[in-house]
Structure 1
Amino acid sequence: MNDDHFDGLVNDATHAVTNLIPDTVLDGLRDRERSDLLFQINDALTPILRDVIDRTDTDNPTRASTVAALISELLETHAQKCDEGGDCEDDRPPHVISEIHGTSANIDSIASCDMETGTQIYLVLDDRTSFRITVEAIAA
């Protein structure tokens, strides 16, 4: 399913959901509030429908979000293994080590965000540094 078809599906679903809301509720809203409601419904339906389409579209290649999830899971698994290593807390290696630069740090948090061009992974370390890793599909 291409992006135009998907956008049409989301818009149709948004209007179908909106049609289920009683007129007495919609009549009590100002124009701006009605518009905001449409956007909120659209935003709520988009990831749900995207997930359904992705699971049922057999011709769908691997997405950037899937690769970003893999990278995040690898980082989380690595951090967990470091946290479980050694006999005591002082024996555990840091999550990130650079012998060349003489630095080390632990991962405080990992988050990801889907963007129009791919997925971004946000990595925050306990040494007050943070990084944004961008995962983009370059060929399908």
Structure 2
Amino acid sequence: MASLPDFRPKQLSLGPLEFEILNLIWDLGTATVKQVHEQILTNPDRELAYTSVTTVLNRLTKKGWLACDKQNRSFVWRPLVSRAQANSLWAYDQLQQFLAVGNPDTVAAFADHLDQASVEQLEEIADKIRAARKAREDQ
């Protein structure tokens, strides 16, 4: 699993079209508006204006997910975090929201309903946390 990146987008929440386009950029590595638009239109049942793709790419740039570079006479977008880093950020954000409940009894009540695989996964997470803390102390 990827660790939390040093860089964090300004806004983690994404709409469905933003998420779809970000995934396309991750798949392509870098892309122009035309490339993203063509990828979306590979689905014959899909319609989306070229200008809408431009708007979403600009929105993702403002939110801190993408960077836009000018190459020759066109603009090329590239991701600022990897898909794995984004998944770590989203998971961390969800965990923080869950823990923000602040009531240990409420959080513990969920533990009573976990299956054995989930309990083992939590124990593995706890072991990794202990190992990371010990490694920091040993430095």
Structure 1 length-normalised TM = 0.23
Judging by fraction of residues, say which structure has more helix.
Answer: 2
Judging by fraction of residues, say which structure has more strand.
Answer: 1
